[in-house]
Structure 1
Amino acid sequence: MTNTDPVWITEAQVTSLLTLAEAIPALSTGLSLQAQGLAASMPKTMLQFGHNNLHALGARLGNYVGTKTWAHTEGGTCPLLLLWNADDGQLAAIIEAFALGNLRTGGTTGVATDWLARPDARVLAMAGTGKQALSQVAAVLAVRNIDEVRVYSPTPASREAFAARIQEAFPECGLRATAVGSMAAACDGADVVTVATRASAPFVDAAMLARGAHLNAIGAIAPDREEFCQDVFDRADVVAVDDLSSTQRLSREFRTRYGEDWQGVQTLSQRIHDGARRPADADLTLFKAMGMGLSDLALGVEILQRARDQGAGRAIAAPVKSKPRFFATPLAQRA
């Protein structure tokens, strides 16, 4: 296998090649390049069918362009990231993207928390116990010295089980993870609040949030979802998003607030480029993640480079053009 052969990179190879802690600087670099005009995201597209969604997003970064697509269904999902060489359009890699999606979503929260949470943050409130939740906790642990995590889910068994899972997953951190019976209890005095749920109605209001807190809003990425109340905006000194276009089209929370005037919303990439960290006197900071192709591509390019350096990945045949057939039976032979 040469460095020009297209490769298939499996889930196991993705997780062996890149950790969440390593994903955070790769994502930061991609966002900085975006602000400089050296990288760009394709607008996210989504088709809803019943309670399911078909997603597609993409980006360009350096010598690569790529798209990630998946169907999020009640029966499961199978995301794939495809990378092409930007100069000749030839296939570079197909990357199985379950773990990559977790690294991207969690890592983006890590980047936002690093830039917008107080440096002395110690307490994390985590709402949601689904498949993204553990990487969300890990991302905050990667950038802040958290010693207490409070877990809220409306289902007691789920929050108890997830609190125990946190304790087991990060024994070296000396964490105290506890399940709490309400979102208000989780947020009481919390420095960082992350919500990653499929809620259809808001369950976090401004009164729950301590002064000096940072809120990561991760879960409501479709117009039928909502996680926080409109009064949260009233207290936010910084309102940042990963992708403005997707937020404008798909976030019910933000569309309700901003309508046609979006001047109060910044991109995380621009804040990184400007070196604009959390204002010292900020009451509240808010980050909304919708998911964007640039983040997937930043990690895909990093994974591909590591795979080539280490000889990982399975070489696959480059696609070869074939002329289409127009008819099963030649016209001259038809009766």
Structure 2
Amino acid sequence: MKAVPQGLVWISETDVTSVMNIGGAIEALEKGLTAEAHGEATNMLKTHAAWNASTLHAIGAVFPKMGLAGTKTWAHTPQGASPLLILFDSENGAVRAVIEAFNLGKMRTAAASGVATSRLARKDADDLAIIGTGKQAFSQVEAVVAVRPIRRIRLFSPNAEHRVAFAEGLKKQFGAEVVVAGSVGEAVQGASIITTVTRTKDPFLQSSMVERGAHINAVGAILPGRAELAPDIVPRCTQIVCDSPTQAQKLSAELIDHFRSDPREWNHVRSLAELVVTNQERRSVDDLTLLKALGTGVLDLSVGIEVYRRIRGL
């Protein structure tokens, strides 16, 4: 067996959660997205391959000024996934760290919602609807609570047992009122912030369910064969932000379908990096605002590099 290269750090899931939380992940994303906007970080577009009911994914990014590059890869199977983020020295190619990245990924995805919500949700937004109660959902609630004074959280998923268990976890963690809804429509009625984090193939959030003034974080459908938003939602979105508009043109069925009739309209979709550096907030004329997040290397590396720095005491 070959010896572990000198200087290589293996960072476990426990290590990640010992040095990073949602607040830290949001701060790390703000810095990483600023670097991306200034040309100091470059995304490697997501690639994936499918077999049976499983998919293999890879994303990455380069931060030359920080001397680091990296990729995150994972195989998502019906039995689970074990994502790894590998950090390389961008000068000599040496492996600097291998990071177990399940918890990192949850925080990264949630932090993207936090960054977008902090700018696109109304200042007085205090009513959150969360659709989906899987492994990503709790972090999504944490991120929204970190940036808005949430007084009520309504939740829905098709599995009644999951709904009840998730609600109990929320009640223990947050001071907000927690309501288990009986349907998507009941959960989102009047909500000022709506987060969808599901793996469904069939869109469920319809325009008639959503009141004017809401902000939507749509973060569950990350492959072309999935959709959470019905076709009548996107036309109402007066601000659409993607973590990567280029990637969305290949992977977001909801946006691809909407812009098919006039591809030039893609020019109105802004990147999350642009939103951060321009610091533009919600406008009074906005009907709905939308974050469509698919996951990017810059987002993962932003959090991963900060975890690495904290573990190393840098």
Q: Tell me the TM-score normalized by structure 2.
A: 0.94
- 1:260-279 map, 5 Å: 260-261=263-264, 262-279=266-283
Query: Of 10, 17, 20, which residue of structure 2 is paired with 1:8?
Result: 10
Distance 2:8 2:160 in 1: 47
Deviation of residue 230 (structure 1)?
Answer: 1.4
Deviation of residue 75 (structure 1)?
Answer: 1.4
Other-structure match for 1:256: 257
Query: Of 12, 27, 30, which residue of structure 2 is paired with 1:25?
Result: 27
Q: Deviation per CA, 1:173-232, whole angstroms, max 9, x where unpaired?
A: x21111011111111110100000011111001111111100000111111111011111
Other-structure match for 1:54: 56
- 1:116-131 map, 5 Å: 116-131=120-135
Equivalent residues of 1:67, 1:83 under 8 A apart: yes
Distance 2:155 2:164 in 1: 8
Q: What SS does the aligned partner of 2:313 have?
A: helix
Long gaps (5+) in structure 1? 311-335
Aligned length: 304
- 1:62-101 map, 5 Å: 62-101=66-105
- 1:140-151 map, 5 Å: 140-151=144-155
1:191 pairs with 2:195: no
Distance 1:77 1:182 in 2: 29
Spell out structure 1 runs of 4+ moving beyond 4 A.
none
Other-structure match for 2:237: 236
Deviation of residue 268 (structure 1)?
Answer: 1.2
Distance 1:75 1:48 in 2: 15
Q: What SS does the aligned partner of 1:212 have?
A: coil
Deviation of residue 162 (structure 1)?
Answer: 1.3
Distance 1:193 1:75 in 2: 29
Q: Deviation per CA, 1:272-300, whole angstroms, max 9, x where unpaired?
A: 11121111331110110000011110111
Q: Deviation per CA, 1:35-70, whole angstroms, max 9, x where unpaired?
A: 111111101001111111100000012321000000
Distance 2:31 2:20 in 1: 15
Distance 1:112 1:253 in 2: 19
Distance 2:313 2:81 in 1: 30
The residue identity in structure 2 corresponding to 1:240 is V
Distance 2:281 2:71 in 1: 30
User: Percent identical across equivalent pairs?
Assistant: 43
The residue identity in structure 2 corresponding to 1:175 is A
Equivalent residues of 1:191, 1:212 under 8 A apart: yes
Other-structure match for 2:301: 297
Deviation of residue 245 (structure 1)?
Answer: 2.2
Distance 2:232 2:299 in 1: 29
Q: Deviation per CA, 1:129-188, whole angstroms, max 9, x where unpaired?
A: 000000011110011110100001122222122111110123xxx211110111111111
Distance 2:268 2:232 in 1: 15
Q: Tell me the TM-score normalized by structure 1.
A: 0.88
Distance 2:272 2:99 in 1: 26
Long gaps (5+) in structure 2? 1-5
Deviation of residue 85 (structure 1)?
Answer: 1.1
Deviation of residue 124 (structure 1)?
Answer: 0.2
**C-alpha root-mean-square deviation of aligned residues, in Å?**
1.2
Distance 2:98 2:226 in 1: 31
Query: Of 36, 41, 46, which residue of structure 1 is paired with 2:43?
Result: 41
Distance 1:5 1:112 in 2: 36
Other-structure match for 2:141: 137
Distance 1:161 1:5 in 2: 42
Distance 1:49 1:73 in 2: 9
Distance 1:288 1:248 in 2: 11
1:161 pairs with 2:165: yes
Other-structure match for 1:321: none
Distance 2:233 2:256 in 1: 14
Shifted more, 121-130 versus 259-268: the winner is: 259-268
Equivalent residues of 2:234, 2:255 under 8 A apart: no
Q: Who wins on radius of gyration, i.e. which is larger?
A: 1
Equivalent residues of 1:160, 1:178 under 8 A apart: no
